[in-house]
Each structure stands twice: as structure tokens, then as C-alpha cells.
Amino acid sequence: MLSRFKIGTRLALAFGLVSLFLLGTLIAGLVGITATRDTAQKTLDMDVALASNAVEIQRLALLARRFEKDTFINIASRDRVVDYQQRWVATVNEIESAFQMGSQIADKDSLYALYQQAQSALDGYEEGFLEVYRQIERGSITETSQANRAFGEHKESIYRLEELADEISVVADSGVNAANEAMESEYRMVLWQLCIFAGVALLIAAVLAVAITRSIVLPLRRAVEVAQRVAEGDLRHNIVATGRDETTQLLVSMAEMSRYRLSIPTARGFMSLAADIRFVTSTPRKRYVPICA
């Protein structure tokens, strides 16, 4: 079947098929890499950002509690009370900014609800602290123990805020773990696709290499055998050539050469016989007289 095509055409078809499968391997790799990149980017933009946001809220909540305690401990010093109260206000503003950022990142209603609950807890904590601070400014509270008792009923809000930050962190961590599993699954799928495409490409290349080599070598081997017989003077063997490729054309040419060389001695024989006939017919005959005894 392959002998119907030129050798160059066979090689071009083989190269095209192998290149096609290599292209498929490349496309599979690019698709897999793109999917993994998108998953990783989504993880960074959402889950990792949420985890960082939750950690930031936890840090700021602890810092706010520190300034709260410092305000109450230094209640006897007006300047220190004002300084720590201003630091507390700045920290609370940072917590609110973190809430806004987290709410924008959150892609689930459950996460958004957690941020809303955390904001409500922060509002209760802020309201309780400012109420105690106003009492300190009016002079109604002059001792640390009084400030702690007055603020005691509002401490549950800051505790709730810390718990909600922990829940947000847990949700974010679960998203990161899910993303890691998704990327691992995509990696295995891409690896299998690459192995399958590469294996099929190698198999086809091996099959085509064997088939094309045999389609070229076998006719050439026959041509070599014919050339050896012709060189030995054997011109009476039958040369069979089928196909349209270059080796078939070579065998056909060698068959024509053999027929031509066989026809040369026959022509020479006919020419020699004709010369003899002409010689006999053109030579005058002598008459012989019988001698009688």
C-alpha cells in the first residue's frame, strides 16, 4: 500500500502524524498548566487573602484589647489615658477596614455572614469601651477595678469577635486545602494526558518507521539482486514491479534494460543469417562435367 506513494510523501505523512500528536501533547500540557495557574491564582486571590485577613483581624483584636487594658491601668494619668484611647480608636478603625476588605473578598454567603456578625460584635465592643471612657473623662470612674467592672458586660463582644475571626480563618484554610487537592488532581490528570499522548506518538512513530523502512528497503534489496544478476549475465529472469514510488520506477527501468539487452543478440543473429544468404545467392556457380572412365 505504501508503494503507491512517493518516498517523500510517505516521510511527510509520517512527520505530519507524529507532529500532530506532539501538538496534542503540547495543547494538553498548556491546558493543564493554565487550569493549575487559574486555580492557584484563585487560591491566592481568595482563600489565602481570607486567611491573611482573618489573621490580621485576630492581631488587631489583641492589640485593641491591649490598648483597652493600658487605658484602664493608667487611669490615674490623664495624658496616658488619652494616648492609649487614641491608639485604641486607630486600631478599631483598622479592624473595620479589615472587615470591609474581607467582605469584598468573601465569595460565599456564609463567609459574608461571619463578617457581618464580626462587625456587630465590634460595634458592641466599641460602644462599651467608649461608654466607660466617657465615665473616666467625667470622673465617675477613677480606679482600674471600677473600669473593669463597668466594662465587664461588654467583654463578651470582643471574645465573640475573636471567635468569629477564628471561624473565618478555618473557612479560609479549608478553601486552601480544597484548592491544593484540586491542583493535585489537575496535576495528575495533566500528567496522564501527557503520558498518553507521548506514548501514542512514540508508538505511531515506531510503527511508521518500521513500515516506511520496509517499503523502501525491500524493493531496493530486490533491485540490488537484479543488478547482481545482470552483472553476472543472467538476463532471463522475470522482474515484477508494482507501485508508483521511486524504487518501483527503478525496477521497471531495470526490467526494460534486461529486455533490451536480450533483444540485441537476436538482432545480431538475424543480421548474420541475412548476410550469409546474400553471399550464397550472389556467388556464381561452376558446372562440373562428369568424367567417364
pLDDT tens digits, one per residue of 123-146: 999 999 999 999 988 888 888 888
Pick the closest to residue 163 from 58, 47, 56 (CA basis). 58
pLDDT in tens, 41-77: 776 677 788 888 888 988 998 999 999 999 999 988 8
Q: Which of 84-88, 219-223, 252-256, 259-263 has the highest mean predicted lDDT (pLDDT)? A: 84-88
Longest alpha-carbon distance in the chain: 193
Give the model's pLDDT for residue 214. 75
The helix/strand/coil state of 72 is helix
The share of the chain scoring above pLDDT 70, in percent, equals 75
Cα atoms in the Cβ-side hemisphere of radius 13 Å centred on 143: 3
Choices 1.10.260, 1.20.120, 1.10.8, 3.40.720: CATH for 7-206: 1.20.120
Q: Hunting for cell 490623664 — which residue is that?
A: 78
Residue 255 has pLDDT above 80, yes or no: no
Q: Which of 22-26, 50-54, 215-219, 231-235 has the highest mean predicted lDDT (pLDDT)? A: 50-54
Q: Which of 30-34, 96-100, 282-286 has the highest mean predicted lDDT (pLDDT)? A: 96-100
Higher pLDDT, 165 or 233: 165
As a whole number, the mean pLDDT across the chain is 78
Q: Which of 179-183, 228-232, 287-291 has the highest mean predicted lDDT (pLDDT)? A: 179-183
Cα–Cα distance, 91 to 87 (Å, whole number): 6
Q: Which of 26-30, 61-65, 174-178, 225-229 has the highest mean predicted lDDT (pLDDT)? A: 61-65
Cα–Cα distance, 56 to 43 (Å, whole number): 18
Give the model's pLDDT for residue 265. 54
87 falls in which pLDDT band (50, 70, 90)?
A: very high
Residue 290 has pLDDT above 80, yes or no: no
Computed from CA positions of residues 60, 62, 67, 71, in that sequence, does the dihedral angle turn out positive or negative? Answer: positive
DSSP assignment letter at 44: I
Higher pLDDT, 241 or 115: 115
Looking at residues 217-237, what average pLDDT do you find? Answer: 71
Cα–Cα distance, 249 to 241 (Å, whole number): 8
Computed from CA positions of residues 87, 93, 99, 102, in that sequence, does the dihedral angle turn out positive or negative? Answer: negative
Pick the closest to residue 29 from 179, 204, 197 (CA basis). 197
Counts for the chain of helices (H) and strands (E), in that order: 7, 0
